Chains A and B, each alone.
Chain A
Amino acid sequence: MESLSNKRKVLESKPLNFWERAYLPAIVQGLSITMKHFFRKPVTISYPEEQREFSENFRGMHSLKRDENGKERCTACGLCALSCPAEAITMIAAERQKGEEHLYREEKYAAVYEINMLRCIFCGLCEEACPKEAIYLDGNIVPADYLRKDFIYGKDKLVEAPLNQ
Chain B
Amino acid sequence: MGVVDILIKFGLVLIIFLISLVIAMYSTYAERKIAAFFQDRIGPNRAGPWGLLQPLADGGKMFLKEEIIPTHANAFLFIAGPSLAIMTACIGSAVIPWGQQMTIGSKVIDLQVADINVGVLYIFGVVSLGVYGVMIGGWASNNKYSLLGAIRAASQNISYEISMGLSIIALLMVTGTLSLRQIAEQQHSWHWNILYQPLGFLLFIVCAFAETNRTPFDLPECETELVGGYHTEYSSMKLGFYLFAEYINMFISSAVMATLYWGGYNYPGMDWVLAHTGPAIGPLIGVVVLFVKIFLFIFFFMWVRWTIPRFRYDQLMDLGWKILIPLAIANIIITGVWMTFIK
Contact = CB atoms under 8 A, between A and B. Distances in A.
B41 A34 contact: no
A35 interface: yes
A99 B36 CA distance: 63
A33 B304 CA distance: 11
Given A34-B303, A35-B303, A42 B37 contact: yes
Contacts of B40: 37, 40-44
B39 interface: yes
A18 interface: no
B306 interface: yes
B308 interface: yes
Contact of A38 (B37, B42, B45, B304): B37
Interface string A21-49: 00000010011011101101111101000
B42 A34 contact: no
B36 A42 contact: yes
A43 B41 contact: yes
Interface string B19-50: 00000000000000010111111100100000
A30 B41 contact: no
A38 B103 CA distance: 42
Contacts of B117: none
A34 B36 contact: no
Interface residues of B, number: 14
Interface in A88-105: none
A35 B304 CA distance: 10
A31 B38 CA distance: 10
Contacts of A27: 304, 307-308
A29 to B, nearest CB: 10
Interface residues of A, number: 14
A34 B40 CA distance: 10
A37 B304 CA distance: 13
A37 B306 CA distance: 11
Contacts of A46: 42, 45
A43 B304 CA distance: 22
A38 B38 CA distance: 4
A30 B307 contact: yes
A34 B34 CA distance: 11
B46 to A, nearest CB: 9
Contacts of A33: 307
B336 to A, nearest CB: 24
B41 A44 contact: yes
Contact of A42 (B41, B303, B304): B41
Nearest to B36: A42
Given A38-B37, A42-B36, A42-B37, A31 B42 contact: no
Contacts of B42: 42, 44, 46
Contacts of A37: 37-40
B299 to A, nearest CB: 10
A31 B304 contact: yes
Contact of A31 (B37, B41, B307): B307
Contacts of B36: 42
A33 B42 CA distance: 18
Contacts of A40: 40
A33 B307 CA distance: 8
Nearest to B37: A38
Interface in B35-69: 36-42, 45
Contacts of B38: 34, 37-38
A40 B41 CA distance: 9
Interface of B: 34, 36-42, 45, 303-304, 306-308
Given A34-B307, A37-B38, 8 more contacts: A27-B304, A30-B307, A31-B304, A34-B306, A35-B303, A37-B39, A41-B40, A43-B41
7 interchain residue pairs of minimum CB distance: A34-B307, A44-B42, A30-B307, A42-B42, A34-B38, A38-B37, A43-B40
24 contacts: A27-B307, A27-B308, A30-B307, A30-B308, A31-B304, A31-B307, A34-B38, A34-B303, A34-B306, A37-B37, A37-B38, A37-B40, A38-B34, A38-B37, A38-B38, A40-B40, A41-B40, A42-B37, A42-B42, A43-B41, A44-B40, A44-B41, A44-B42, A46-B45
